[in-house]
Amino acid sequence: MVVNETAPTAKELMVVAAAREIGDGELVFVGMRLPLLAFRLAQATHAKNSIGLYENGLIRARAAASPVFTMSDDANVRHATSATDMLDVMGLLQSGRVSLGFVGAAEVDRFGNLNSTRVRGTRLPGSGGASDIASLAGRVAVVLKHETHRLVERVHHLTSPGHGDGGGWRERTGLRGRGPVAIFTDLAVLRFDPESNEATLHSYHPMSSPEEVAAATGWPLRKTADCGPTPLPRRDELELLRSFDPESFWL
């Protein structure tokens, strides 16, 4: 059942699915945009003891009390557990203490490599902290819009490493952590095959279909054995999520 008899939107499903990736007690590098909402939702529901890290140096053991649009908003700074600097939170990454990191990008490829640097001659903002997160977090979740020119066979530029060219690449190159474990989009959830490290279709949102997801993906998309519809948000999840973004700024 969903709140106000209104079905969840594709973006809302995307955020709820991402929030469910966060485990209770985990140290989470939150990132920007939709992950801000995913972390708040997780802390308010199943992951009350998770701790959020922000690239600007903030650490929060409790979510902000009012809507947050950027990580440096007053609402996010106020009552933060710690207001330190980028070096300190990046140090937690390097010491291997971060469980999960959220990242976005202009492109992600079939092995979870990310490009936020350059696409067909257009210069983009670059890595920021994404390469550090992708290299050092215990596991990585990618959040982006599902379009053929964004989910590509091979990224045009490798900004942040995923699984390189497939099975065993991270181990061979000495990268810490499991690397990307999931891609959350407005159409589906993709997860990475444990042997090949290739992104495969794990679930498709109810307003979509496996065929639509495959058509919007830039490589021949395989399905997991248990592939099915993405579970709908519970009433409390949807109600909370909408209260976190009452003006639908991100949603």
How much is the pLDDT for 62?
86
| Whole-angstrom distance, CA of residue 183 vs CA of residue 224 | 14
What amino acid occupies position 197?
N
111-141 confidence digits (pLDDT tens): 999 999 998 888 988 888 889 999 999 999 9
DSSP characters for 171-182? HHHT--S--EEE
State which H helix or E strand residue 184 sits in.
Answer: strand 180-184
Output phi, psi for 229, to 5 deg: -65, 145
**Nearest-CA neighbor of 169 among 182, 160, 178?**
178
Alpha helices in 81-167 (DSSP H): 86-94, 130-136
| Whole-angstrom distance, CA of residue 81 vs CA of residue 71 | 14
Contact present, 141 and 101 (Cβ < 8 Å): yes
Q: For 90, left (φ over 0), alpha (ψ -120 to 50), or beta?
A: alpha
| Whole-angstrom distance, CA of residue 50 vs CA of residue 14 | 20
Contact present, 103 and 143 (Cβ < 8 Å): yes
Q: Is 107 a catalytic residue?
A: no
Burial class (CB in 10 A: 0-12, 13-18, 19+), 25: exposed
How much is the pLDDT for 64?
80
| Whole-angstrom distance, CA of residue 31 vs CA of residue 40 | 12
Q: Is 5 helix (H, G, I), strand (E, B) or coil?
A: helix
Q: How many CB atoms lie within 10 A of CB 219?
A: 16
How much is the pLDDT for 73?
78
How much is the pLDDT for 24?
96
Contact present, 13 and 41 (Cβ < 8 Å): no
**Residues of the chain whose pLDDT is less than 50?**
1-4
Catalytic site residue from 55, 107, 198, 237: 55
Alpha helices in 29-138 (DSSP H): 34-44, 74-77, 86-94, 130-136
How much is the pLDDT for 1?
33
